Amino acid sequence: MKRKHWTVIIFFGLFIVACQKDDAITTEIEKWLGFVKPAHFPEPEYNLQNNPVTKEGFELGRALFYEPRLSRNNTITCGSCHIQSSAFTQHGHDVSHGIDDRLGTRNSPPIMNLAWNKAFMWGGGVYDLDLQPIIPITAHEEMDDNVANVMNKIRSLPKYQAMFKAAFGSEEVTTARFMKALSQFMIMCISSNAKYDKIIRKEPGFSFTEEEEQGYQLFLQKCASCHTEPLFTDNNFRNNGLGISPINDQGLYNATLQETDKYKFKVPSLRNLRYTAPYMHDGRFLNLNAVLRHYHEEVVETPNLDPLLKGIKLGIELPESDRSKIIAFLNTLNDEHFINNPLLAEQ
């Protein structure tokens, strides 16, 4: 065989290899896994059968989530107060600021693992994720628009006509489609890849440090009855003994008018605390030390104080020596993959 032939064959071979590699990469990027329940998570609360997550539906939901036309003057998106790099909260703000920099009364909660949520908002009242977005869209200090008007704005854009068609089969924009698309995006915001998760899943190469392990044991003794694994919330509403705020926010009571619900707020997850300060429904604590000090010595006996905080003394015994260990454990719940996941980012 002449040398020329060899060259051709070698070139040809290289080309094939290159092609295969390219294909593999393309496949990897385009592979749509849909909604996948993390192995160590319970069954979701969200009714996925009524709204199966599709790639097109998710992409529409993501576009709507980052769409400023959801607000009166087209300035505020859902992502304005739920910023991915802050684990979908508004880091650094005790209460979030919305349209025209108006301030609300509560700390913006994370868009995280919502498929496992039974109730929404710090004070409850909403029990179906598909009905939640009506609140921020219409709230005076958030987006200050109305749903019908927002849908009209969306309807007029060719981009959304194509996206609704791809997601739901026709260009028609209905309340149900609009809300379901947003839900598809929101339930895909799953945080399950913190160091803790890798250890629980027994992934090779991951283990707690001694301090983290001690913190985990303390957590199990002193925190886990409300902040239940693996979501780190029991989804209940409880009064954790915060002194009553100047605006006298009565929490769950506002939605139920039951005396026994006064000053109860939703138990928040403890995931991604590194990115989500400040803490509590009104963002009163700037760091975790302040939170732990609250439980140790600042719990106030207000109506309906949680029985778990009423022992020999009010609160939970959390001396300083315990706090650093617990914080070391809590740091294993920070999920860098979640806050950097390009799928969840504004495109």
Partner 1 sequence: MIIGTIFMITACSKEDDVAPDFEEKNLAPLSIEFDNIVGDRTFSINNTGSLYTNSNGEKFSISMLQYFISNIKVSTADGITYTVNQDSSYFLINGADRASRFTRVRVPEGDYTKLTFTLGVDSLRSTMPVDKRTGVLDPALGGGGHDGGGMYWGWNSGYIFFKFEGNSSVISNDTSGDPTGKKQFKYHIGGFGGYSAPTINNIKTITVDLTNAGIARVRKDRQSNIHLFVDIMKVFDGTNRISIARNPNVMFSEFSVNIAANLTEMFKHDHTEN
Binding site for partner 1 (CB under 8 A): 47, 50, 118-119, 121, 124-128, 130-131, 134-135, 137-138, 146-149, 151, 174-176, 179-180, 252, 254-258, 261
- As measured in angstroms, the least distance from the Cβ of 180 to partner 1 is 7
Q: Where are the beta strands (DSSP E) in the chain?
A: 237-238, 265-266
- As measured in angstroms, the least distance from the Cβ of 260 to partner 1 is 9
Nearer to partner 1, 38 or 125 (CB): 125
Question: Which DSSP string corresponds to 121-176?
Answer: STT--B--GGGTTHHHHH-TTTT---HHHHHHHHHT-HHHHHHHHHHHSSS---HH
Measured CA to CA, the distance from residue 14 to residue 283 in angstroms comes to 59
Q: Answer for the pair 134, 176: CB distance below 8 angstroms, yes or no.
A: no
Computed over its alpha carbons, how large is the radius of gyration of the chain? 24
Nearer to partner 1, 252 or 328 (CB): 252
In the chain, which residue ranges form alpha helices assigned H by DSSP?
A: 3-30, 55-65, 78-81, 134-138, 147-155, 158-168, 175-187, 195-200, 210-222, 253-256, 273-276, 288-293, 320-330, 336-340
Nearer to partner 1, 117 or 192 (CB): 117
Nearer to partner 1, 106 or 195 (CB): 106
Nearer to partner 1, 85 or 258 (CB): 258
- As measured in angstroms, the least distance from the Cβ of 176 to partner 1 is 5
- As measured in angstroms, the least distance from the Cβ of 300 to partner 1 is 24
Encoded amino acid at 54, one letter: T
Measured CA to CA, the distance from residue 291 to residue 298 in angstroms comes to 9
- As measured in angstroms, the least distance from the Cβ of 84 to partner 1 is 25
- As measured in angstroms, the least distance from the Cβ of 137 to partner 1 is 7
Nearer to partner 1, 120 or 196 (CB): 120
